[in-house]
Structure formats: C-alpha cells, structure tokens
Structure 1
Amino acid sequence: MSQPNAPSLRVAVLGAGSWGTALAAAASRRHPTILWARDPAQAADMAARRENARYLPNIALPQALEISSDLDATLRSLKQDGKTPLIVLSVPMAGLATTCAELARRLPALGLQDTPIVWTCKGFEADTARLPHEIVREALPGAIGGALSGPSFAREVAQGLPVALTVASDNAGLRAATTQAFHGAALRVYASSDLVGVEVGGALKNVIAVACGIGDGLALGTNARAALITRGLAEMTRFGVALGAQAETFAGLTGLGDLVLTATGDLSRNRRVGLEIGAGRKVADILASGITAEGVRCARAALERARAVNVELPITEAVCAVLFDGVAPMTAVSALLARDARDEQSDGGG
C-alpha cells in the first residue's frame, strides 16, 4: 500500500524466471516496471506473446510491463522521470554473485550506486556456504540491500491469489520502498530487520522439504511429516540463532510459514525431489530430468556452515547422506529414529 506523499517508484526486476516474472507483473500494476531476461530470445518471445511460456505458461503479462534483454538499457530506464529507483534481483542463488559483479561495473557509471537492491534467492552458496547478503555486500560494498522472502509459489502470485511476504533489511528506506512496490490487493508485505533470520529460514526450509518429500515417498505417514516439520523448525531456529538471527523470526512467514508451504505444497520442487527419492528413483536421474531444487543445491553448504559454528543439523545431515553419500532413504530415516531421547527445548539438536 502506498504511503501518503511517498515518492513514485520505477522498478527493474533482473531475472525472468517464474518468480521474477510474477513479481514484475505485480509491480507493474502499481509502478513503471521493466523485467530483464538474460536470454534475448526469451525476452523477445515474452514481449510478443505477453506471456512467459517457459516458466509461467498460460498466464498473461500486464501490457504495462516492459521486457528487455539489454541490461544497460534496463538500468538506464531507472533514471527516467525522476522516480525513485528500486532493483529487484530475482536470479537463482548460483547466479547472484555474477549478477552483482555486473551491477558493480555498471551502477556507478550510471549514477545509480545508491539504488536500493532487494533479492529473492534462497539458500547457501554451494562453494562458499555464504548467505545472499554476504555475497551482495562483498560484490557491492555499501549497497542498500535486503531480502524479499516468504511462503510463495510464483504461479499463485502471478494468478493474483493471496500471498504474504516479508522484506528484511536494516535499512528502513529499503523496507519502505519494497513494501510500496508490491503491497496491495492480494499481495501483502510485512517488514523485518532480521535479515539473517529471514535468509536462514528461506535456505533451510528447502532442505527440510526434501526430507518431508522423502518421508511421504516412503509412505511414513502424516505423523512423520508433522515430526519432520516441527523438528526441522527447531533445526532452522538453532542454526539461525547461532548465526545471529532472532529466534522469533522462525515463528513467522519466512520460518514456519515457508517451511509448511514448501514441505506440503504440491507445487514445491524440493518436496517433489524428495517424493521421487522416496519412491525409489536415483538422485542423479531425478536431477537429470530437469527438476531444479534449491534444497539439493545448498544442503551440503548449509551443513558445512553449521558445523563451523558447532550446530547439529540431524535432518539436514540425513538429507545430505541420501543425496551425496549413497545412503538408502530408509537407512537415513532409521538413523534419525535411533537418536537418543532428549528434552524438546534442548539446544543440542535432534
């Protein structure tokens, strides 16, 4: 919802996957918005069809939404009309560092170095175990940044169905601009200053969702799923607090909310990977079929980061054993069940 006398925005969404497209469509109903696609052929097809046939088929894009494959032109458009610029990075976790490096080369030359930047990717970087904000701050020192996260499937957002998101940043201006860009109609945006907590929740929920999918694929029942979600939430909270997050963040949209959605929703790619594994398919065959799941990409990095701060992540460890060490799913489940009994509120894990 726009605030009285708030400056009008001009929004650039970088990344034309399903989520970037859905967000760009939502923003374009309120503010001048341009969506950048790295692939010129995809950009041309989207502009001609007014549809992202690759990622969001059969959903019409607003006529007001501009589409481009020229990054420099996309960024220059932010200077039009004297409107307040906002950059939304909706690239995958694996592409965040590269995109930030491109922005570091371009933004100062265009006089846009102080432009607020909000990112939507979730996970730990595979090679370095960094969270998104750590990648952004290294590539763009001094950038005004934050994360937009929460329980959301892109297709439902693009269809205009209700959704609630959280924007997290230590900068009040960025929180206000992001809220102004997207809050309205069926899309609600809540603000948080706990950037670490929001990012850890967004990363770990994908791994726990893989575990829940495996349990469902093994037909372990809804009791087991409830246990995995609940203990997974404890795992996320323990890890996040060790990295400096606030425990209460994990009871909110980007913790419990996103975990429940991703662990139970039929549109969840992470749950789908787990279901396939539990049903007996090989991990390599599942991934070769084209399913992309951030929980698979970041599970090992999350476990390494947790070990570095002496935090136990038993569910994440079990998922890694299945994904990367060839452990049979039922064997990994049995190892979880064999763990010693402990106080539920214990910080010790499990």
Structure 2
Amino acid sequence: MSRKSEKVAVIGAGSWGTALAMVLADNGHEVRLWGHNEAQINEINETHMNKKYLPDIQLSPTIKGFYSLSEALEGIDTIILAVPTKAIREVISKIVECRTEPLTIVHVSKGIEPNTLLRISEIIEQEMPKELLTAVVVLSGPSHAEEVSLRHPTTVAVSSKNMAAAEATQDLFINNNFRVYTNPDIIGVEIGGALKNIIALAAGISDGLGFGDNAKAALMTRGLAEIARLGTKMGANPLTFSGLTGIGDLIVTCTSVHSRNWRAGNMLGKGQSLDEVLDNMGMVVEGVRTTKAAYQLSERYEVSMPITKVLFDVLFNNVDPKAGTESLMGRTKTVEMEDLVNILDEK
C-alpha cells in the first residue's frame, strides 16, 4: 500500500505507545516517541529497545526517542496520545505550552475520569484551546501491545466527531498486520473501551477464586449487558457494543494473561489487598479508577450495573470477593432478554 510519509509524535513511551510507534514506522512514517524518563529515551535511541515495556523487541531506527516535549512536537500536525487517563490533563497542559499551531490528537487510552465522569475525548476538548485543536480521534479495540509489537494480526476501530480526521487516522495506521475500521459512534467506542476493564477485573477475580469457565462466561455476557445499558443511556449506538470496541475488546481483556486488569483481578481473587496488587503490578491498572467512575455514572443515569456495584464494593469498601460473588448470584430472578428490550426501547 503506497502512502505519504508523515511526521507523527507518540506521546507516551509505555508498551502501547511503543507498539503503535512500531506500526507507524512500518508504514514509513517518521516517528517521534516522547517519554518522561530520560534513561528510557536514551535506551530507545542507543539500543533501539524499550526493555521495561517490550523486552526482546527490536525497534526500527526510524523511531526516535525524545525527552523534550517541545522538540518532539516541532513541525508535527498529528500526535498519538498514549498516556494513562490520570495523566491526560497534565500532559495536555504541557502540550498547550509548546504549541501555536493546531493539532489532531489521536488518543489510545481507555478510561473515564472519576468525579467529573468525562470521557477522554471530553477531557482533551476541555483542556485544549479550540484554536489549537483540529480534531480528537479515538483508536480502540482488542489490541494487546505485546502482540502488536510481534506484528500479529490485530483489528481496531477509530472514531471522531470529525470523520475526515478518523479516516486520515485509518490511513495512517492501516497495514497488512494492523487493520483499522471507522465507526462514527465516539461515545460507544470510548465507553466500551473503558468499561471492559471493569469486567476484566471481575473476570480475574473469578479466576483467582478458582470459579472456572462457566462463571467467567457469565461475567463477560452479563458485563456486556451492563456496558450496553449505560452506554446507550449516554447516547451510544447499541450496535457498537457488538463490535470490536465492545465484545471484541471485552473478550481479549477478560481472557488473556497480557491483560493488566485481568492480572490485577486475579491477584485480588487470590487474597491480595488492592494496595498490594497495585504495588506488585508496577503499571497503571485503568480498571480501578474506571470502576469508581462507572459506579458514579450508573447512579447519575439510574442504570442497573450489579457487577460494577459489587466490584466497587470489593475495591473501595473492603467487601470480600467471594461474598461479593454470592451477593451477585443471590439477586432477585429476572428475564435475560429484558435488557435487550430496554436497550432497543432507548433508541
């Protein structure tokens, strides 16, 4: 596939940012990978490796590491924002200090901000002056960085209020290993990507408790119903949740040992405290913050989300995971298809 070479800055040199930098480099783009750890940036430039996040993966020499944000952004029209949700505001404020020309921001993080209950695109729009923002695009879907870096087949979706910007992002990334679809439903794409982390935490707890495949299948299925109930109430298209950024991302995050959220839940199920889990992980577990935000959203929109409620109690109210499971199983009987009818009625 012939394409025009572009200069692109990837902001965030973790596993996902680095893997996406590899996709862009494979497509012939000039890639600037920014990180806040100078030793890590030096390693990228000197050895073409990022051993902390993607050990044994050789990076293209066309990926240049940058410690200075202003230098990384010089002459750039598009940035890939690959930092944790809690760092979005701080990083955007630093970008604003460096820029006089407008940018397209493609964010690839999956979360919701607690208390404000804003999606990431909304945080960016709030923090970025309008004259500096061409468009916000979200890239999401079932995509472990470890597998993308090995060039295993991966399929994702991009969405934006500005679909021309989404299509430009599609062109930027798509290749024979990394297939990209467009989806106009930015609310559904962001909600599906964020809330699947909650269900992955629950699935990890279930596995840690030794409950087996039946329990995990139920959690995933009923978890998807919760995600769709809330997302539809917030204005999403219910069909989005049957796609890549809904059930696709849910499957990969609930069933893979690559999933940070599954691993964190697994440790909780085996008896570790939340503080112990987060210390042992050494990386951001987005599902923890998102559980709080999703619980708050369920109250705001008056949506029933029993799995989310139990997980909130396990994480923040010291409820024993096994006792939480028992409370889920003992709820009042209901009709399975009632959820689908309610979702369709919303539309």
Alpha-carbon distance in 1 for matches of 2:30, 2:37: 22
Are 1:44 and 2:46 matched, yes or no?
Answer: no
Contact 2:158 2:169 in 1 (8 A): yes
SS in 2 for 1:116: strand
Say whether the 8 Å CA contact 1:86–1:177 is kept in structure 2. no
Aligned position for 1:35: 33
| Distance across 2 between alignment mates of 1:247 and 1:269 | 27
- Name the counterpart of 2:78: 86
Q: Which residue of 1 aligns with 2:55?
A: 57
TM-superposed CA distance for 1:216, in Å, is 1.1
Q: Which residue of 1 aligns with 2:118?
A: 130
| CA-to-aligned-CA distance 1:279-330 (integer Å, 9 cap, x gap) | 1222221112234311112211111022111112111111111111111111
2:138–2:186 contact (8 Å) kept in structure 1: yes
Does the aligned pair in 2 maintain the 1:29–1:64 contact within 8 Å? no
How far 1:127 sits from its partner (Å)? 4.2
1:325 maps to 2:314: no
Shift in Å, 1:52: 0.4
CA distance in 2, matches of 1:205, 1:321: 18
Unaligned 5+ segments in structure 1 are: 79-84
Cα distance, 1:7 vs structure 2: 5.0
RMSD: 1.5
Superposed displacement of residue 269, structure 1:
1.0
- Deviation at 1:58? 0.9
Question: Does the alignment pair 1:266 with 2:254?
Answer: no
Q: Is the 8 A contact 2:69 2:98 kept in 1?
A: no
SS at match of 1:13: strand
1:148 matches 2:164: no
The one-letter code matched in structure 1 to 2:319 is V
Match of 2:16 in 1: 19
AA aligned opposite 2:255: T
Hey, what does 2:104 align to over in structure 1?
A: 116
The 8 Å contact of residues 14 and 20 in structure 1, kept in 2 or not, is answered as yes
Taking the aligned partners of 1:8 and 1:159, their CA distance within structure 2 comes to 22
Answer yes or no: is 1:246 the counterpart of 2:237: yes
* Higher alpha-carbon deviation: 339-348 or 131-140: 339-348
Mapping for residues 93-242 of structure 1, pairs under 5 Å:
93-108=85-100, 111=101, 113=102, 115-142=103-130, 143=133, 144-242=135-233
More moved, 217-226 vs 206-215: 217-226
**TM-score scaled to structure 2, two decimals?**
0.93
Measured in 1, the distance between the counterparts of 2:231 and 2:129 equals 24
Deviations 1:51-100 (A, max 9, x none): 0011111100001111111111111142xxxxxx3211011111111111
The Cα shift of 1:245 comes to 0.6
What SS is found at the alignment partner of 2:281? Answer: coil
C-alpha deviations, 1:98-137, integer Å up to 9, x for none?
Answer: 11122223222xx2x1x21110111111342221011011
Counterparts of 2:272 and 2:111, CA distance in 1: 25
Count of aligned pairs: 336
What CA distance in whole angstroms lies between the structure 2 residues aligned with 1:290 and 1:230?
27
What is the CA–CA distance in structure 1 between the aligned matches of 2:318 and 2:15, rounded to whole Å?
32
Match of 2:331 among 317, 333, 339: 339
Structure 2 residue identity aligned to 1:147: V
Moved more, 49-58 or 134-143: 134-143
TM-score by length of 1: 0.92
Q: Which residue of 2 aligns with 1:307?
A: 299
Amino acid across the alignment from 1:116: T
